[in-house]
Structures are given as C-alpha cells and as structure tokens.
Amino acid sequence: MASDSYPFLGQHQSGIVTPAQDRLHFVALTVKTESLAELRSLFEDWTAAAQQLMAGQPVGEEKSLAAPPDDTGEALDLSASHLTLTFGLGRSLFVDSEGKDRFGLADRLPPALEDLPTMSGDMLEAAWTGGDLCIQACADDPQVAVHAIRNLVRIAAGRAVVAWSQLGFGRTSSTSSAQVTPRNLFGFKDGTANLKVEEPELLAKHVWASADNSAGNPAWMEGGSYCATRKIRMLIEPWDRAPLREQENIMGRTKKEGAPLSGGGEFDAPDFEMKGRGGPIIPVDSHVRLMHPAQNEGVQMLRRGYNYTDGSDGLGHLDAGLFFIAYVCDPRTHFVPLLRTMMKSDALSEYLRHVGSAVFAIPPGVSEEGDFIASGLFEGKI
C-alpha cells in the first residue's frame, strides 16, 4: 500500500472523519438495471475497485492488447494522494416517485432516509438534485479524485449512469484538530465548531447511526451515517460590495481571525448574551448564532463541504459557491431543523441561492476481506 494512502477496510467508510483533503469529485448516479443480482454485483465490483484505487493501484488487470484497458490510465504516474471513497444510497433506490418497490428492498428502507422537505427560498434545479446512488471521492490531487470517479462510473456501465456530478476545491471544514480552519469564498473561516475525529463520543452521538440516535435505524445501517448535500451558489459580486461591518455582523465573527464578535479567539465560545449599542453584540440573525449547537439543543453535524466554481453564468457573474456536505446520524433531527432555521432566519441567506439538494444513506465500512459495501442490505434477499 502506498505511503500516502488510507486503508479501505474499517468499521466506517473512509471520507467521513478522515482528515479532509483539498479536492473533491462527487457524483450521483441513476440505476438503470432492474435486477437485484446486478445491483449487488455492482457493489461487489465497486468494492474491489475501491480497494485498488485507495491503495494507489490501477483498476483491474490488463489481459489483452485487443481489448480496452481496465484502467483509464490518467493516474498511473500519480501517488494515492490520500484518496478516500465513500458510497451512498438514495431513497429513490428503494422506492420510485410513486412509492413502487424497485428491487424488493422497500422493507429495508431506513426511516431516516427521507427527501428533504421544501424550504422557503429554495431554488432547486433537477439537474443538481436527488440520485439513486452517490460516490464521494476526496484526494490531495484533483486528477486522482477524477480518475477514481471516472473508473467507478465506467465499471457501472449497463447498471448505472451519472445523474450529476460536482468538482470541489479548497475544503471548507476541518475534520481533525491538526488542520487549520479553511475559508469559504466569502473570505471567512468556515466550520470552526465542526466535529473532529478526536471526539469519538460526539461522533457516536451525532454522526454514526444506531437505534439509539436514529429511530427505526435498520440493522444493515448500524454504524453507518447519512449524507446531506446542498449545492449553494454564493452571490459573490453583491457580497464583495458589502461593508466589512455588515459582513461580520452577518457571520457573527471577525473576518481576519474568525473570532466571535463577543471577543476572544477563534475557538472561544461565543457569548450570545453580551450586549452592544443596538442590541446583542452577536446579532440575533447572524449565522454563528443560529447554527451554533448551543442554540439548537446541542445538535451537531460533521461538515465536509468544498468550494466550487463552474465558470460564469453568462451575465458576467461568477457561478461559484459552496458544495455543502454534512454527515449526521439522522437528517430528521440533525439536519432538517438547522436547514429550516437557516433558510428562514439567517441574514446570510440574502447572499445565497440553494440550487441542489440530496440525501443518501451511507452504509458502515467493509470490515473484512470478502465482504462488500452495503452487503447487509442484500442478506436474505438473494
């Protein structure tokens, strides 16, 4: 195994609490096969390929010059680049839009795997929403991440096709205390209060799904998680014209140090009771106040989002923003309430447009050789 690689086998899938890398390629897929056996074989094939990719090895084995190569080749001279691969399942894999059981798996649909309710201010586009399956590839090198997704999608040929995908750069959260807090495209430090790998008790409470923290969580999802994504376009040009004081009041933090407006350093607890001349020193509609665990009954989520830019929108404006990713034990309790509050009350929403949305169940990791991703889902079915 390469020196700059993470192990594939483990209790949980990689790419969740793994120290966040700087590059992302996220893809959602539509399943085309109607065969449960073919769906299972897809996960088996992906498992074998993922082990090779994460170890920095080519996919498959070359057998003949007369056939297309198993590996597309653009990463042959590159290292493993700390590649992680995370696989998920959408609600639409279990039941279609009319509630029809697609593969005889409806009885194993996790109750927590619900489509996000419509939010005030939503401007969702079908091209960036939903998906039967997802794969998240994170790496230090963007070509390594793209190579992984390209080859996994190729392996899925005849069984699944790409619905949408997103490239990301510049992580917007830290998942390890050894990492410095990064900045989003508004120039502010992002994810200061994010959960960290060094906090196993909090991860067990807020990230890893179980019968204790996710009502009705099925056995095959024990130790898994749920991934909520939002493609959020940032209105860069209006934000850049806003005075610094307005920007800091909207965020509730200073722009340079990332400290709460109530004083101290970046990691000091905000004092939401401190008074200023016109009211609370940290405004009641500021982002940090509305999203802080202290204001949300202690609920926390593990953020793992990325900046993105998709060029310009044809009107001279930068088409850029945040591809938000959050891992939680149950979206119903740990994501939807916070999103609803943000969309309804957060002053930051004036500068944001939510254009994409999806939720996926993330099965537990593959703990031993011979097993495969989501194997528990298929037990007793084939």
Tell whether 197 is covered by a domain: yes
Q: Is the pLDDT of residue 2 over 80?
A: no
Tell whether 5 is covered by a domain: no
pLDDT score recorded for residue 362: 98
- Number of structural domains, the chain? 1
Q: Is the pLDDT of residue 1 over 90?
A: no
The residue range of the domain holding 40 is: 23-377
pLDDT score recorded for residue 62: 79
CA distance 366 to 73: 26
Q: What is the mean pLDDT of residues 118-135?
A: 96
What's the predicted TM-score (pTM) here? 0.97
Q: What is the mean pLDDT of residues 131-150?
A: 98
212 DSSP assignment: T
Q: What is the mean pLDDT of residues 260-280?
A: 94
Give the dihedral of Cα atoms 324, 328, 334, 338; nearest 10 deg. -10
Tell whether 180 is covered by a domain: yes
Q: Is the pLDDT of residue 358 over 70?
A: yes
Tell whether 365 is covered by a domain: yes
State pLDDT tens for residues 170-179.
999 999 999 9
Tell whether 330 is covered by a domain: yes
Tell whether 142 is covered by a domain: yes
pLDDT band per the 50, 70, 90 thresholds, residue 44: very high
Tell whether 3 is covered by a domain: no
Q: What is the mean pLDDT of residues 282-288?
A: 97
Question: φ, ψ for residue 175 (rounded to 5)?
Answer: -110, 10
Give the dihedral of Cα atoms 361, 18, 353, 298; nearest 10 deg. 80
Name the E strands within the chain.
Answer: 23-31, 84-90, 133-139, 160-171, 225-234, 275-276, 279-280, 302-303, 306-312, 318-328, 352-362
Amino acid, single-letter form, for residue 143? Q
Q: Is the pLDDT of residue 380 over 70?
A: yes
Tell whether 18 is covered by a domain: no
Both structure tokens of 47: 């498992």
